[in-house]
Amino acid sequence: MRWVKGKTKTVWLPRTASVTFTEGDLVQLTTGQVATATTQSTKHVGIIRKSVASTDADFATSAVKVPVEVPLDPSCEFESTVTGTLVTTSLGVIYDLSSASVVNQGGTTYGVVTCKGFITSTKGRFSLNSNQDFADATWE
């Protein structure tokens, strides 16, 4: 995933220890620390901008800060791959996640993203319905 429209800001947030992250994944906050988004997560912070591997020297260390690119307004859009088949009539439809980096065209239970643009049957542009409020965030 990557932001393609709107204002964003990179903030450094503490990550959960002993959890791998892939750059470009959608992330959430759990107990004040960044965690990978799931198919059932309903509040998201933004897109992580650094991978974290189990081979990293500080992998098991808690509260290590990682860069997360957060949207500053609800009209921000990101590009994502899609499971299922996206069609031109998908515009305006809300969807779930298949993973932290893939939108689920077949799922509408949690409605965390809205389709804003059709690119191909497997790729689209989306806004984040599950966006936490970042405008007043004081994260450093």
Q: Annotate 82-134 with DSSP letters as a single string.
A: EES---GGGTT-EEEEEETTEEETT--SS--EEEEEEEETTEEEEEETTBPP-
Q: Which tens digit of pLDDT belongs to each residue from 116-130?
A: 999 999 999 999 988
Please compute the mean of the pLDDT values over residues 18-45 and round it to a whole number.
93
Residue 56 resides in a domain: yes
Residue 30 resides in a domain: yes
Instruction: List the 33-36 sheet strands across, edge first.
Output: 8-14, 65-71, 46-48, 26-30, 33-36
Q: Which amino acid is at 79?
A: E
Domain interval for residue 10: 2-71
User: 99 has which bridge partners?
Assistant: 102
Residue 98 resides in a domain: yes
- Given this model, what pLDDT does residue 132 score? 67
Mean pLDDT over each residue of the chain, to the nearest integer:
91
User: 28 has which bridge partners?
Assistant: 35
Number of domains in the chain: 2
Percent of the chain at pLDDT exceeding 90: 83
Please compute the mean of the pLDDT values over residues 5-29 and round it to a whole number.
94
Residue 136 resides in a domain: no
| Six token digits for residue 39 | 């198919």
Same domain, 10 and 67: yes
Same domain, 14 and 64: yes
User: 104 has which bridge partners?
Assistant: 83, 96
